[in-house]
């Protein structure tokens, strides 16, 4: 659940007349696309414009293997962002999303029967930040879900540290899985100086499972009744654009957990999917199939640490 954005991407710095590529992205869509590619049956709760642009976005959603059944169409403007794609991660973003139809998502859009029946519900800090109504929708969904997955996805341009921290602390006790990034989010929102410390703190707040992503280094895992485990990253074959990599990790990890994989196995596939996604341009420029993800994960081996009680 969340906002879908129109993506305008360039390979050079923003300027008049530079060539750009139009795409459809946003964290919610990126997560949903990755989950569908990983084998899950996925619906996407979002609001689109009731015009030709909204129809085109809905067509792209279907093309990605996602059900359009939870989409709502309303009058208004679609959120847009411009991005200068840099393989080294030094990207420039500019957003035009204030008052977008996506930010009109609210608690009344959350169908209790659908959300209680879902194998998992995924939401992020961006949805909590774009409006009071979307945050209320996330809180309602978290209360209904059997497995609620939350990606803090802290964006200083959208919200303050204080508000993002409040959202995380409010939702952590209800989460089946929370996926903060280190060091940015764990330091700003949790005051933790290590990934292991952040994982332990979130577990103490009530999160059932934690996967702290540490960029190119790896992932810190901690789950119910199990010791912490460190998992090395999966190297990317090529890097074109890092947009959507974290979302691919969350979507793939969640899908595989719902489909029965253990946390380390699901996290390994999530890391492999993320490292393949950066080979495409844009949030959904390249979404690897499950077969491609599994093959790539196999080339990098298994978790570097598998404590007693984990199944790798």
Pull the structure tokens for residue 147: 């497995």
CA-nearest of 108, 111, 167 to 139 is 167
Which segments of the chain does DSSP mark as H helices, in order?
A: 27-37, 52-63, 112-117, 125-130, 132-144, 161-171, 184-190, 195-204, 245-258, 263-277, 290-299
State residue 118's pLDDT score.
98
Q: What is the DSSP letter of 14?
A: S
Q: What sign has the CA pseudo-torsion 196, 228, 219, 29?
A: negative
Are 57 and 77 in contact by the 8 Å Cβ rule? The answer is no
Active site residue ranges: 247
State residue 103's pLDDT score.
97
Q: How far is CA 66 from the centre of its chain?
A: 15
State residue 85's pLDDT score.
66
State residue 90's pLDDT score.
61
pLDDT, one tens digit per residue, over 210-237 is 999 998 899 999 998 776 889 999 999 9
Taking 50 as the pLDDT cut, the residues of the chain under it are: 303-312
Q: What is the DSSP letter of 240?
A: S
State residue 309's pLDDT score.
46
Q: What are phi and psi of 38, to 5 degrees?
A: -85, 0
Are 179 and 250 in contact by the 8 Å Cβ rule? The answer is yes
State residue 299's pLDDT score.
86
Are 166 and 189 in contact by the 8 Å Cβ rule? The answer is no
State residue 87's pLDDT score.
61
State residue 243's pLDDT score.
76
Rg of the chain's alpha carbons, rounded to an integer? 18
Whole-Å CA distances, 40 to 43, 287, 290? 10, 14, 10
What is the spatial distance between Cα 178 and Cα 198, in angstroms, rounded to a whole number? Answer: 11
Pull the structure tokens for residue 155: 């964006």
Q: Which residues have C-beta within 8 Å of that of residue 264, sequence separation ≥ 6?
A: 221, 229, 231, 302, 303, 306, 310, 311, 312
pLDDT, one tens digit per residue, over 59-94 is 999 999 999 999 999 999 999 988 886 666 566 778
State residue 228's pLDDT score.
83
What is the spatial distance between Cα 219 and Cα 216, in angstroms, rounded to a whole number? Answer: 9
């Amino acid at each position: 659940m969340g906002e879908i954005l129109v993506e305008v991407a360039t390979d050079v710095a923003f300027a008049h007349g530079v060539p750009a590529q139009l795409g459809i992205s946003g964290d919610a869509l990126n997560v949903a696309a990755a989950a569908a590619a990983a084998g899950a049956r996925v619906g996407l709760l979002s609001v689109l414009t009731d015009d030709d642009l909204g129809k085109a976005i809905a067509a792209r959603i279907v093309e990605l293997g996602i059900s359009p059944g939870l989409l709502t169409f309303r009058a208004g403007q679609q959120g847009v962002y411009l991005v200068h794609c840099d393989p080294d991660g030094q990207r420039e973003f500019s957003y035009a999303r204030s008052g977008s139809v996506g930010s009109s998502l609210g608690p009344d859009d959350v169908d209790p029967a659908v959300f209680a029946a879902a194998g998992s519900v995924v939401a992020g800090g961006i949805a909590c930040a774009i409006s009071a109504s979307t945050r209320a929708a996330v809180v309602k969904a978290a209360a209904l879900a059997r497995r609620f997955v939350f990606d803090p996805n802290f964006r200083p341009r959208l919200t303050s540290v204080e508000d993002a921290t409040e959202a995380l602390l409010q939702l952590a006790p209800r989460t089946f899985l929370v996926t903060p990034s280190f060091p940015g989010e764990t330091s700003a929102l949790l005051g933790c100086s290590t990934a292991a410390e952040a994982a332990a703190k979130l577990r103490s707040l009530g999160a059932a499972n934690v996967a702290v992503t540490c960029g190119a280094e790896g992932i810190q895992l901690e789950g119910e009744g199990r010791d912490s485990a460190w998992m090395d990253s999966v190297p990317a074959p090529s890097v074109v654009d890092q947009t959507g990599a974290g979302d691919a990790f969350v979507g793939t990890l969640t899908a595989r957990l719902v489909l029965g994989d253990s946390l380390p196995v699901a996290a390994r596939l999530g890391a492999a999917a993320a490292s393949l996604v950066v080979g495409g341009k844009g949030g959904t420029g390249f979404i690897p199939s499950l077969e491609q993800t599994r093959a790539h994960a196999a080339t990098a081996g298994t978790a570097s640490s598998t404590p007693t009680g984990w199944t790798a």
